[in-house]
Structure 1
């Protein structure tokens, strides 16, 4: 395997690692907080709404948007690390 292919393979492996971590966070927040831990979270109120309900309706969307910005930042760093930046 050439050095260029190894470089691209390492880049792709690191990218997949970031994707798995970020999607796991999103899954835990959306499924976990919105469904599995709903009863426990409903004991807490946020703006007059039960926290479990809030996560199911809005919280997971906010977390997803934040994770998009985190992913962009991570990918910009990764691009610079492997020389793919513009």
Structure 2
């Protein structure tokens, strides 16, 4: 279950960090951008009877965060299989 060589190890962690940065950027945009910076603009739109900016600030960011956790797990399982470091 170890890496074949050092170049595989570096490539694996480079891809891992790239994935984490993308997911953190999405989370930042949703939580800070939609929930704080764009709240007034988004409040003009209704979502399930609530103003969209309020919804993102109260619940939407949490839902997106949980979804990002599942995306991260799936992508890391694929990455583990690609580099033959999976636990199966």
TM-score, length-scaled by structure 2: 0.92
Structure 1 unmatched ranges of 5 or more: none
Shift of 1:49: 1.0
Alignment of 1:2-41 (within 5 A): 4-41=5-42
CA-to-aligned-CA distance 1:54-81 (integer Å, 9 cap, x gap) = 0000000000000000001100100000
* Whole-angstrom distance in 2 between the partners of 1:47 and 1:19: 31
Aligned length: 84
Runs of 4+ with deviation above 3 angstroms: none
TM-score, length-scaled by structure 1: 0.94
Structure with more of its chain in helix, by fraction: 1
Greater relative contact order (Cα < 8 A, sep 6+): 2
Structure 2 unmatched ranges of 5 or more: none
